[in-house]
Chains A and B, each alone.
Chain A
Amino acid sequence: MIRTASLALTLFIVSIFLPGSTFAGGPEGKKIFEAKKCGACHQVEGPAKEKTIQDQLAKKGPELWYAGSKFKKGFLEAWLADPKPIRPLEYNSITKKNDGSHPKLSGKEALDAAAYLMTLKSSAVKDGAVQPKDTPKGRAIFIKRQACYGCHEVKVRGNAAGGLSGPSFVGVAMRLNPDWIYAYLTNPKVFKPVKDMPDYVGILTYSEMRDLAAYAATLN
């Protein structure tokens, strides 16, 4: 009995210091999130509530209730401490440039807030669904068949190219969980019921969406 209890205590203490643990900083991060009033712009409780275009346009910032399924922890930690625009334009605007004025957190705050955000998961994202892979099929869909770069900026021979209305795809490999990209393509209404990007379910096959997600996940 004593041995079991001490083993459990040891595991708990070890888990606090393990990378990716939800114990490290999670509750502290939530306090920071609330103190900084991040919820004024970011929804942290699912499910998605928008039903109309007006509902979507009323949102001030991206929803974060599935942030732990969408982002990579290392990216969140670095970005919260030194935020740089992910979207070339302001959220929900097609005319105003994103001036990069997102509040910046201190190093410790960023680590704690990232740990908290990583606890916000969506059951619609299945772990291990997609591995990043640059395949001819995925590349062809991204560049030729659906021309995703039309709305999402990419890097071509070191220079930014493509459209500006969607989030930039520069640095996706560092930023996004490939499994979330696949889930977003295959089940978009769970995450964003009303969005300006077309739905591709019924246009691409699930196999093609897997290839596309795998390719997008390689973009730097």
Chain B
Amino acid sequence: MPNFRYRYILASIAAISLILLSSKASFAAAAEENYKFYCSQCHGLEGKGDGPNATKSQPVDPRDHTSAAEMNKLTDEDIINSIADGGAATSKSTLMPPFSETLTRQEIAALKDYVRKLCRCKGK
């Protein structure tokens, strides 16, 4: 009986770990997919600020998400607010559009995590 209970606990831990791992994997893929679909138009596929909308005629350059020096100036909340409400939310250029009606809060938070991975920085 104790042996059975031990096996049961082990199996439960394994099952919960699998569920957590798989949900985290799909979470990461969704953020990358969203980044490449929405953000890369301006910020580039690798986040270097060199997307096709970063033309010479634009008044400002898109932020380089791989620059820790630049990205460390922003808090996590700044990043989330910029994605949701556009550049105006953080007194930046309105060339950064608002995605609050396009992406869910969870997707926006996941994008913030993805951007933090690109800069390998934690911010203010």
Partners in one complex: yes
B102–A199 touching, CB < 8 Å: yes
Q: How many residues of A contact B (CB 8 A)?
A: 28
Residues of A within 8 A of B53 (CB): 150-151, 162-165
Contact B52 A202 (CB under 8 A): no
Contact A94 B52 (CB under 8 A): yes
Instruction: State which of A162, A196, A198 has its C-beta within 8 Å of the C-beta of B101.
Output: A198
Q: Counting CB contacts under 8 A, is A145 at the interface?
A: yes
| Contact residues in B for A94 (Cβ distance below 8 Å) | 40-41, 45, 51-52
B37 near A53 with CB under 8 A, answer yes
For chain A residues 151-167, which have a beta carbon within 8 Å of chain B?
151, 156, 159-165
Q: Judging by beta carbons under 8 Å apart, are A165 and B41 in contact?
A: yes
CB distance from B98 to the nearest CB of A (A): 5
A40 interface hit (Cβ, 8 Å): no
Determine whether the beta carbon of B33 is less than 8 Å from that of A53. yes
Across the interface, B42 reaches (CB within 8 A) one of A53, A57, A89, A163, namely A163
A203 adjacent to chain B (CB < 8 Å): yes
Closest B residue to A94 using CB positions: B52
Question: Would B58 and A196 count as touching, CB distance under 8 A?
Answer: no
Distance in Å: Cβ of A177 to nearest Cβ of chain B? 24
Residue of A nearest to B94 (CB): A147
Given contacts A94-B45, A199-B102, contact A147 B95 (CB under 8 A): yes
Q: Within 8 Å of chain A (Cβ to Cβ): is B100?
A: yes
- Assign chain B's interface to a size class: 20 to 34
Does B57 belong to the interface (CB within 8 Å)? Answer: yes
Q: A145-B94, A147-B95, A199-B101 known; A95 and B45 CB under 8 Å?
A: yes
A196 touches B41 (CB 8 A): yes
Q: Mark A131-157, 1 if CB is under 8 A from B, else 0.
A: 000000000000011110011000010
- Tell me, yes or no, whether B34 is within 8 Å of chain A by CB: yes
Interface residues in A76-99 by Cβ distance below 8 A to B read 88-89, 94-95
| C-alpha gap A56/B86 in the complex (Å) | 24
Instruction: Give the CA-CA distance A68 to B55 in the complex, in Å.
Output: 33
Give Cα A62–Cα B97 distance, bound, in whole angstroms. Answer: 23
Chain A residues with CB under 8 Å of B102's CB are 198-199
Q: Which residues of B contact A145 (CB under 8 A)?
A: 88, 94
Q: Which residues of B contact A156 (CB under 8 A)?
A: 57
Across the interface, which residues of B come within 8 angstroms of A196, CB to CB?
37-38, 41
Asked if B99 CB lies within 8 Å of chain A CBs, one says yes
Give the residue among A88, A156, A163 with the most B Cβ atoms within 10 A. Answer: A163
User: Interface 1/0s, chain B 28-40, versus A by CB < 8 A?
Assistant: 0000011001101
Q: Which residues of B contact A200 (CB under 8 A)?
A: 101
7 A-B pairs within 8 Å (CB atoms) are namely A56-B37, A146-B97, A147-B95, A156-B57, A163-B41, A163-B52, A198-B38
| Additional pairs, 6, CB under 8 Å, beyond known A163-B52, A165-B51 | A146-B86, A156-B57, A162-B58, A163-B42, A200-B101, A203-B98
- Residues on A close to B: CB < 8 A? 53, 56-57, 88-89, 94-95, 144-147, 150-151, 156, 159-165, 196, 198-203
* B interface residues (Cβ-Cβ under 8 A, vs A): 33-34, 37-38, 40-42, 45, 51-53, 55, 57-58, 86, 88, 93-95, 97-102
